[in-house]
Structure 1
Amino acid sequence: MTSARGRGRPKLDRTVDNREQILTTAREMFSESGFERTTMRAIGRRAGVDPALIHHYFGTKNDLLVAALRPEVDVATVFAGIADTDATVGCEFVYRVVDFWERDPQQRARAVALLRIAVTHDQVADRLREFFLGVATGVLGEFVSADERGQRVAMVMSQMLGLLMARYVMRVPAIADAAASDLSRWAGPTIDRYLFGDITNPSDRR
């Protein structure tokens, strides 16, 4: 006799937060064993759930990885009043991004893990790109010049990704050892130019 919940549909345990338990277990196992050696079955076994439930919530292992490691950022709080400071928008944006990562090692560790994996996994890179573009667009959208808007936001994202990779993944000494205020002073003007400066090709000005 077929259950009322339908053939093949995983049974949900209403007494626990299955989704959060899966995410917590996935973070632990990805950290311990790496992405390739961690299976959905192993995660399910440690979390005490049917592996089918993991697929029900998250889909593929790539999607689970992104969900488990994506930083939890309250964008509205982190970037509140970004234009109401003595610094330019670009400088303030750089400072707040780096300062957030410095003050929250757990969130930084998740993001760094994603950056590392995204280099060799296209689907993870796609999800990470969507996340960073979403943050950049949401925070800086009102400050971006109308001309070549998409390109401007993309360049802001590329600048910040390069900076974060250099600081936290490659550990370039001058970048890794710098204070958030120094990085803001160095990279902020470039962000400002991408947002509302002249980005035309020099040859087009002739």
Structure 2
Amino acid sequence: MTPQQRSGRGRGRPRTAETGSDNRESILGAARELFSDRGFERSTMREIGRRAGVDPALIHHYFGTKDALLVAALRPEIDVVEMFAGITADTESPGTEFLRRILGFWESNPQQRTRAIALLRVAVTHAEVAGGLREFFLGVARTALADVMAADHREERIGLMISQIAGLVMARYVLDVPAVAGATPEELAQRVGPNIDRYLTGDMTVDSWHS
């Protein structure tokens, strides 16, 4: 009987996989440190595995690719249901309240904001990272505003909202556009929120946007 047979472990299975969530969290922590210290391109799976104390094969076992690992490591940790609780169809300007809470979260959680900015920067040139970030934003919008959004053209409405929010975050925190970076979160919420309201419930026919 071979050592692999005695241990019940197949040849292709990482030898540390049985330790479960502890290894996964160690990998995520090591990835965050290396991505922060060296940047995405200069960080290797081997180095991440060495810092986490695991076989690099285990990283592929849990996450598949380095792009997917980046998304898992840097995606902001948000309890969407709790964060947007109370936003309903009866809320005066739900778009304004939605933005108020998003901007409040970024401003009061600099570590989470840094993660999101890092993802935005890499997503520009990495399709898999862009896809993971896109699904994150879409999931937030669908969960937070599902009860507020009109029933028609829902995907178009969500897409327009995401373009507005992602552009606002990019302008404020990455491009440092003066008028956006220098405004208070409340000012931005009040100015941009009505656009979100229109995406949520407005007439989506093309002619209506020229009125």
Structure 1's consecutive aligned runs of 4 or more residues displaced over 4 angstroms after TM superposition are 203-206
Partner of 1:92: 97
Counterpart residue type for residue 205 of structure 2: T
- Is 1:194 equivalent to 2:199 in the alignment? yes
Instruction: Determine whether 1:5 maps to 2:9.
Output: yes
Residue in 1 aligned with 2:80?
Answer: 75
User: Structure 2: how far apart are the matches of 1:82 and 1:180?
Assistant: 18
Q: Which residue of 2 aligns with 1:117?
A: 122
Paired amino acid for 1:130: E
* Residues 45 and 92 (structure 1), Cα distance of their counterparts in 2 relative to 1, 3 Å cut: same
Q: Of the candidates 151, 156, 176, which is equivalent to residue 156 of structure 2? A: 151
TM-score (norm 2): 0.92
Letter in structure 1 aligned against 2:11: R
Matches within 5 A, 1:19-168: 19-83=24-88, 87-168=92-173
Matched residue pairs, number? 206
- Give, in whole Å, the separation in 1 of the partners of 2:21 and 2:96: 44
Deviation, structure 1 residue 199: 2.9
C-alpha RMSD of matched pairs (Å): 2.1
Q: TM-score, normalized by length of structure 1? A: 0.94
CA deviation after TM superposition for structure 1 residue 2, in Å: 4.6
Q: Which runs of 5+ in 1 are unaligned?
A: none
Structure 2 CA distance for partners of 1:39 and 1:205, relative to 1, 3 Å? closer
| Rounded Cα–Cα distance in structure 2 between residues aligned with 1:6 and 1:20 | 24
Asked whether the equivalents of residues 88 and 148 of structure 2 are also in contact (C-alpha less than 8 Å), the reply is no
Q: Conserved in 1, the CA contact under 8 Å of 2:88 and 2:147? A: no
Look up the equivalent residue of 1:56 and give its one-letter code: H
Larger deviation, residues 155-164 vs 11-20 = 11-20
In the TM superposition, what is the alpha-carbon distance from 1:95 to its structure 2 partner? Answer: 0.5
* Counterpart contact for 2:149–2:201, Cα < 8 Å: yes
What percent identity do the matched residue pairs reach? 59
CA distance in 2: counterparts of 1:77 and 1:51, whole angstroms: 36
Structure 2 regions of 5+ residues with no counterpart?
A: none
Partner Cα separation in structure 1 for residue 88 and residue 114 of structure 2: 28
Query: For 1:16 and 1:152, how far apart are their aligned partners in 2?
Result: 37
What amino acid is aligned across from residue 182 of structure 1 in structure 2? E
Separation in structure 1 between the aligned mates of residue 35 and residue 210 of structure 2, nearest angstrom? 51
Q: Tell me the amino acid that sits aligned with residue 11 of structure 1.
A: R
- How has the CA–CA distance of structure 1 residues 30 and 204 changed in structure 2, closer, same or farther, with 3 Å as cutoff? closer
Q: Which amino acid aligns with 1:114?
A: L
